[in-house]
Amino acid sequence: MAYVLGYDISTTATKALLIDQQGTVVAIGQASYDYATPHPLWSEQSPHLWWQACRESTQEVLAKAGVAANEIMAIGLAGQMHGLVLLDQAGEVLRPALLWNDQRTAEQCEQITARLGEQRLIELTGNRALTGFTAPKILWVQQHEPEIYAQIAHILLPKDYVRYCLTGEFASDVSDSAGTLLLDVRSRQWSAEVAQALEIDLAWLPQLFEGPAITGQLHAEAAAALGLVAGIPVVGGGGDQAANAVGTGVVAAGSIALSLGTSGVVFGATASPIIEPQGRLHAFCHAVPGRWHLMGVMLSAAGSLRWYHDTFAPQLSYDQLLEPAEAVAVGSAGLFFAPYLTGERTPHPDPLARGGFIGLTVRHTQAHLTRSVLEGVAFGLRDSLELMSQAGIGTIGAIRASGGGTRNRLWRQILADVLGAPLVGVSTTEGAAYGAALLAAVGAGWYRDVDQAVAATVRLSDPTEPSADQARYAELYATYRAIYPALQPLYPALAAAEA
Beta bridge partners of 93: 87
Helix (H, G, I), strand (E, B) or coil at 165: helix
Q: Which residues are annotated as a binding site?
A: 81-82
The whole-angstrom separation of Cα 435 and Cα 77 is 9
Active site residue 240: yes
Question: Cis ω on the peptide bond leading into residue 347 (within 30° of 0)?
Answer: yes
CA-based nearest residue to 276, from 290, 296, 257: 296
Give the list of residues 6+ apart from residue 81 with CB closer than 8 angstroms, or none: 100, 157, 176, 179, 239, 240, 241
Q: Is the distance from CB of 79 to CB of 158 less than 8 angstroms?
A: yes
Q: Which one of 160, 176, 184, 240 is the catalytic residue?
A: 240
Cα 357 to Cα 49, 146, 361, 392, 487, distances in angstroms? 40, 46, 10, 33, 12
CA-based nearest residue to 57, from 226, 234, 230, 218: 226
Q: What is the CA radius of gyration of the chain?
A: 22
Helix (H, G, I), strand (E, B) or coil at 433: helix
Q: Is the distance from CB of 430 to CB of 247 less than 8 angstroms?
A: yes
Q: Which residues are annotated as a binding site for substrate?
A: 81-82
Task: Kindly give the residue spans of alpha helices, DSSP state H, lying in 361-466.
Answer: 366-391, 409-419, 431-443, 450-457
CA-based nearest residue to 194, from 101, 126, 293: 126
Give the dihedral of Cα atoms 462, 465, 467, 472; nearest 10 deg. 140
Angle formed at CA 9 by CA 202 and CA 175, multiple of 5 degrees: 45
Residues taking part in catalysis: 240
